[in-house]
Amino acid sequence: MNIDVKALGKVAVLFGGDSAEREISIMSGTGVLAALQSQGVDAHAFDPAERDLSDLKKEGFTRCFIALHGRHGEDGSVQGALELVGIPYTGSGVMASAIAMDKVMTKRVWIAEGLPTPRYVWLAPHDQSRERVIAIPDEIGLPLIVKPPREGSSIGITKVQGYSQMQDAVALATKYDPDVLCEEFIDGEEITCPVLGSGEAAYALPLIRIVAPDGSYDYQNKYFTDVVKYQVPSGLPDAEEREIQRIVVAAYKTLGCRGWGRADVMVRKSDRKPFLLEINTSPGMTSHSLVPMSAKATGMSYEQLCVYLLSQASLDSKKP
């Protein structure tokens, strides 16, 4: 992979931002910035929470590496702003970013395309009465998952074991999002699958099997402890791995994703059926992050991955 780093021009690494995932974004962006600089890229830190995006144009930046997570970072907002100023950026465009950020909209698209995803109930702000909330387990069973549909990093999520927990679970989710997603719990193995590329050239990297203590793959364990085990290679049978990769690439292309992304999948213990949970269009790039881990299994270093992703930066209006 011979990439002329000088041809990449003056690069802004966007990180920080004002979402609930700011802390993780700073960890991701700091790693990306150091990696790009180590490869000779003229890269600079840029925090949209502290500076106006119009400064990008004024200061002559020619492309952006988006290391923002959550609201305004991977929901199409910053992508739209960069489209308007005409600066190519990494990752998915406006529409795919906006849809993938909303887990309910993502499910609607996947279901329309016949892709497997857990059953769910969406609770709009006007539809969260005590009577409505307490009836959800009758529709999708117990245990179930309650989460804000437009947050990531396991923020605001509750695994509900009984009716009595429903009210508190919904109350927690609404701290982060007025809408609430209640989702069937899939008992099985948690798998994540990164995807690189765009269109017909999109391809899946090796699967990672996530083994968390007591199944607790939460915010703290994701980023700040070493108790979670990540298995690459996954140890799944080859045919099963290939089928999951096929479904993930189909899910990625169906949403119109480009550049890179990472899908989270549950494989049901009882029948080994995979279920798509979500696609992350601006995955983490911290020391614990999964896309670099999977890329490393193919021989691609963290630094090479960062330069590759940057080289794929584009605009919706000027698709590669």
Q: Each residue of 219-274: pLDDT tens digit?
A: 555 555 577 889 999 999 999 999 999 999 999 999 999 999 999 999 999 999 99
Domain identity same for 57 and 175: no
317 lies in some domain: no
Local structure of 260: helix, strand or coil: strand
Instruction: Count the domains in the chain.
Output: 3
Sign of CA dihedral 178, 253, 21, 315: negative
Domain identity same for 79 and 108: no
Q: Which of 189, 241, 278, 303 is catalytic?
A: 278
Q: Which of 284, 294, 302, 308 is catalytic?
A: 284
Domain identity same for 105 and 228: yes
Domain end among 73, 90, 107: 90
Residue 317: per-residue pLDDT: 81
The reply to whether 262 belongs to the active site is yes
Domain identity same for 131 and 39: no
Sign of CA dihedral 87, 90, 95, 100: negative
Give the pLDDT band of residue 91 (cuts 50, 70, 90).
very high
Residue 215 is classified by DSSP as G
Q: 3-state SS string over 159-204?
A: EECCHHHHHHHHHHHCCCCCCEEEEECCCEEEEEEEEECCHHHCEE
Residue 227: per-residue pLDDT: 77
Q: Which of 77, 92, 280, 294 is catalytic?
A: 280
Domain identity same for 112 and 148: no
Domain identity same for 61 and 204: no
Q: Which of 176, 262, 289, 294 is catalytic?
A: 262
132-182 residue pLDDT tens:
999 999 999 999 999 999 876 578 899 999 999 999 999 999 999 999 999
Domain identity same for 282 and 211: yes
172-226 residue pLDDT tens:
999 999 999 999 999 999 999 999 999 999 999 999 999 887 655 455 555 555 7
Q: Which of 28, 77, 97, 153 is catalytic?
A: 153
Angstrom distance (rounded) from CA 101 to CA 99: 5
Domain identity same for 161 and 244: no
The reply to whether 21 belongs to the active site is yes
229 lies in some domain: yes
Domain end among 166, 184, 202: 184
Domain end among 155, 184, 213: 184
Report the chain's mean pLDDT, rounded to a whole number. Answer: 93
Give the pLDDT band of residue 297 (cuts 50, 70, 90).
very high
Angstrom distance (rounded) from CA 269 to CA 255: 27
Domain that holds residue 138: 120-184
Domain identity same for 287 and 253: yes
Residue 149: per-residue pLDDT: 92
Please report, for residues 79, 85, 234, the alpha-carbon distance to residue 240 in angstroms, rounded to integers and kept in the order given.
Answer: 35, 44, 10
320 lies in some domain: no
Domain identity same for 234 and 106: yes
Please report, for residues 60, 178, 240, 305, the alpha-carbon distance to residue 206 in angstroms, rounded to integers and kept in the order given.
Answer: 37, 36, 12, 14
Q: Give the closest residue to 133 by CA, choosing from 106, 158, 100, 107.
A: 158
Tell me the CATH number at 175.
Answer: 3.30.1490.20
319 lies in some domain: no
104 half-sphere exposure, CB direction, 13 A CA radius = 16
98-114 residue pLDDT tens:
999 999 999 999 999 99
Residue 219: per-residue pLDDT: 53
Tell me the CATH number at 284.
Answer: 3.30.470.20
Give the pLDDT band of residue 21 (cuts 50, 70, 90).
confident
Q: Which of 152, 264, 302, 303 is catalytic?
A: 264
Residue 218: per-residue pLDDT: 53
Structure tokens at 257: 């994703």
Q: Which of 89, 120, 176, 223 is catalytic?
A: 223
The reply to whether 2 belongs to the active site is no
Domain identity same for 107 and 219: yes
The reply to whether 278 belongs to the active site is yes
